[in-house]
Chain A
Amino acid sequence: MNLLILLAGLILSILAAQHRRPALNRAGLGGLALVLAGAPLLTTNLLTLTNVYLAGTAAIGWNIIGGFTGYAAFGQAAFFGLGGYTAAVFVGRAPGTFGLPAPLGVLVGGVIPAGAAILIGLAVLRLRGHYFALATLGVGIAVRELVNNIDCVGTPGSPQPLFCLGAASGIILPPVHKADLVITNLVLYGSALGLLAAGTAGLWLLSRSKFGYGLRAIRANEEAAGVMGINTTRFKIAAFAAGAALAGLAGGVQALVDGSVLPDQTSIFDPYRSLEVIIICLIGGAGTVWGPVIGTFLLYAVQEALTGIFGGGDWRPIFFGAFVILLVLFLPRGILQFAGGRTPLGWRALWRNLTANRV
C-alpha cells in the first residue's frame, strides 16, 4: 500500500510541478494534498511514510545550498544529527536534559544546526568545488564524532552538568503521547508532512525572491554575481544555514520517531544521509522547487518496490546501485527535464543525455 501512495505522490508531484499549465498544476497540488493527508487511513505502516518525508525535508535543505547555489555540500547528515541530538537534549527526561515540550525541542533543533552552519560556513564557504565538498565531509565527520563522544558538559567547579549527550548510551526520548500509540504516530506523521510542505513552499518563495535569484547568480558565475552587487559571502552563508535548519528540524522529528538518539552509524548520524539527499535532488532535479519532493517519492518508491520483489535480501542493494548508475547516466538533470514539456521523453533525448558529456 505504501508503494501505491509513493507512486501516487510521485505522479501528482510531477503534475504539481507543471507551473506553465495552471489546470494540471492545481489538480496535482489538490490531489497531492488529498492523498498525503488521507494516507493514515490507507496504510498500516505510517512510520515508513513519516521517515520518507523527513528524508525529503533534509533533501529540500540541501537543495538550497547544493541545488540553487551550486555548492556541493556533503555534510547534511551532520546537521540532521545535530538537530536530532538538540531535540533529544531539550525533550529528554533523564538528568542533564531539560524535559521541555516536544514542539519546542524540534524548533530549537532547527536553530542550533543553523547557528553551527553559520560558524562552519564562515570557514568552509571560502573554498570551492572539490575542496568545499571535502571540507564539509570532514566537518560532518568531526561533528558526529564530537557529539558521540561527549557525555556531560558542565561549568568548571559546579557539580550540576549544563547538559548531557550520553556518549555511548545516547539519549532516550519520551513518547509524544504517553498512552496512545496511534495518536503519537499521527502527530509525528503530521509534523513530517508539515515540514515537507513548508519546505516546498519555502523553496517556491525562494525561487521567486531576490535572495533566490542571487543564489542562482552565484551558481552561474560567482565573480559576476559579486560585481552585480550581491554580497556573495552573506548569501552563501544564509543558504547554508537555511539548508542546515531544515535538516535539523527533520532530524528533531526523526529523534522523536526513533524514540532515542544513539551514537552508532545507523542512528541519527547515519552518514549515508549526506549522499541520499544529493541522490534525491539529482534524480528529481537539483535547483528546482519540486525536484526534492519528486526525487524523494521516486527513490523510495523504487526502494519499496525492490523490497517487495526481493524482500530484505541481498539483491536489493545491488539493484539499487544499478538504478543509481542508470539514472545518473540517462537522466543527469533529473526527471523534471522531461516533465516541463519542453523536451519530449524519447530514446533520442535519453541518448543525447548519455553522450552529451563524454570525452
Chain B
Amino acid sequence: MSGQVLVNGLLLGGMLGLVGLGFSLVWGILNIVNLTHSAFIMLGAYLTFYCFDQLQLDPFLTLPISMLVLFVVGFVLQSAVINLVMRAPLLVTFVLTFGFETFFISLARLLFTGDQRAVTPAYNAAALTVGDTIVNWMKLGAFGVALALTGALYAFMRYTQTGNAIRAVGMDPDAARLMGINVARLYALTYALSAAVAGAAGTLLSMWYSFTPDSFGIYNIRAFAVVVLGGLGSVPGALIGGLVFGLLDQAIASGSLGSFQLGALKEALIFLALVGILIVRPTGLLGKEGYR
C-alpha cells in the first residue's frame, strides 16, 4: 500500500467514522436503524452551502450552526413523532424513518433544486506535500474535526451524568425509568445529538464533494458498514470502523488482479466482507453488547 493510498484511506475513513458515529449512537441506545440519518447529513451540507454562498461564511465556522439547527430538528422529530413508536417492532421504525427520509429529500429537491452545488473556499486545493504524498489541508482539517467530535462524544458519554443516564437507558429503559430517569426526554436528546453529529458530517462533506439532494442516500449504507466494522454501541468503534472502511475502500480501488481492476467490484467486495464479519462476529470487530 503506497503512502498516498494510506493517507487517502485515513482521511476518507475519518469522515466515514463521523458519518457512522451518530448512526451508531441511535442504533445502540434507541434500537432504531435510522434511515433519516442521510437526510440530516444533506441538511447540514445545504446549510453550509447557503451560509457560504449568501454570507461568505467559512465552512468550518458553519459547523456550530449546522450542529445547532440539526440538534433542534432531531429533538423535535424524536419527541413529537418517533417516541410514539419506540416499543413497536423493528419494521415500523424502519419504515417510519424511511418516510421521513423521503419527505426531507424530496422537500430539499423542491426548495434547493436539483442543481449541483459545491462549497469551494479559497484554500480548497491547498495541500501539504511530504515526499511524493499529497495531503489536502482542508481534508486534514475535516479529519481533525472528526477526531475532536468523536472524542467529545466519548467524554460526554463517559464522564457526565447525562451521558451515563443515556447509557443506562440504552441498557435497560425500564430499569432506568425506575431510577428516576426521564426516558422519553433522553431518547430525544440522544436522537438530537446524533442529528447534530450528522449535521457536522454534512458540513465537512460539502467541501469534499459537489452534491445534489440525491447524493446522500449512499451514506446510510456506509454508516451501516461502519457500524458493523467497528461494532454496534461503541463511540471509538465508529471511528475505527470508519478508518477500516476508508482504508479498505482506497486499497481495493487502487488494487488490481492481473489486468482486472478491483475498483469495479469495490462495493461487492466490501459488503461481502461485511456479511462475513457479521456471521463470524455479529457484534462487529470490536463491539460488545450495550453502548459504551
Q: Given the complex, which residues of A lie within 8 Å of B85, measured CB to CB?
A: 328-329, 332, 357-358
**Interface presence of A324 (CB below 8 A):** yes
- Min Cβ gap B33→A in Å is 6
Docked complex: A310-352 residues within 8 A CB-CB of B: 314-318, 320-325, 328-329, 332
**Interface presence of B156 (CB below 8 A):** no
- State which of A2-10, A81-89, A135-143 sits at the interface with chain B: A135-143
**Interface presence of B144 (CB below 8 A):** no
Q: Which of A72, A322, A325, A356 contacts B90 (CB 8 A)?
A: A72
Given the known inter-chain contacts A127-B278, A130-B33, please indicate yes or no for A142 contacting B90, CB distance below 8 A: no
Q: Given the complex, which residues of B lie within 8 Å of A294, measured CB to CB?
A: none
- Min Cβ gap A351→B in Å is 11
How far does the alpha carbon of A325 sit from the alpha carbon of B81 in the complex, in Å? 9
Docked complex: A137-190 residues within 8 A CB-CB of B: 137-139, 141-142, 144-146, 149
Indicate if the CB atoms of B98 and A72 lie closer than 8 Å.
no
Indicate if the CB atoms of A142 and B268 lie closer than 8 Å.
yes
How far does the alpha carbon of A141 sit from the alpha carbon of B92 in the complex, in Å? 23
Indicate if the CB atoms of B88 and A332 lie closer than 8 Å.
yes
Chain A interface extent, by class: 35 or more
Indicate if the CB atoms of A321 and B87 lie closer than 8 Å.
no
**Interface presence of A355 (CB below 8 A):** yes
Indicate if the CB atoms of B94 and A149 lie closer than 8 Å.
no
Q: Given the complex, which residues of B lie within 8 Å of A227, measured CB to CB?
A: none
**Interface presence of B274 (CB below 8 A):** yes
Q: Given the complex, which residues of A lie within 8 Å of B64, measured CB to CB?
A: none
Q: Which of A127, A286, A355 contacts B91 (CB 8 A)?
A: A286
Q: Given the complex, which residues of A lie within 8 Å of B83, measured CB to CB?
A: 358-359
How far does the alpha carbon of A142 sit from the alpha carbon of B274 in the complex, in Å? 10
Q: Given the complex, which residues of A lie within 8 Å of B107, measured CB to CB?
A: 318
**Interface presence of B137 (CB below 8 A):** no
- Min Cβ gap A8→B in Å is 26
**Interface presence of A245 (CB below 8 A):** no
Q: Indicate with 1 or 0, residue by residue over A47-71, a CB within 8 angstroms of chain B CB atoms.
A: 0000000000000000000100000
Indicate if the CB atoms of A133 and B279 lie closer than 8 Å.
no
Docked complex: A114-144 residues within 8 A CB-CB of B: 123-124, 126-127, 129-131, 133-135, 137-139, 141-142, 144
Which are the 9 A-B pairs with shortest beta-carbon distances?
A321-B103, A145-B268, A321-B102, A317-B106, A324-B99, A325-B99, A357-B87, A357-B88, A138-B271
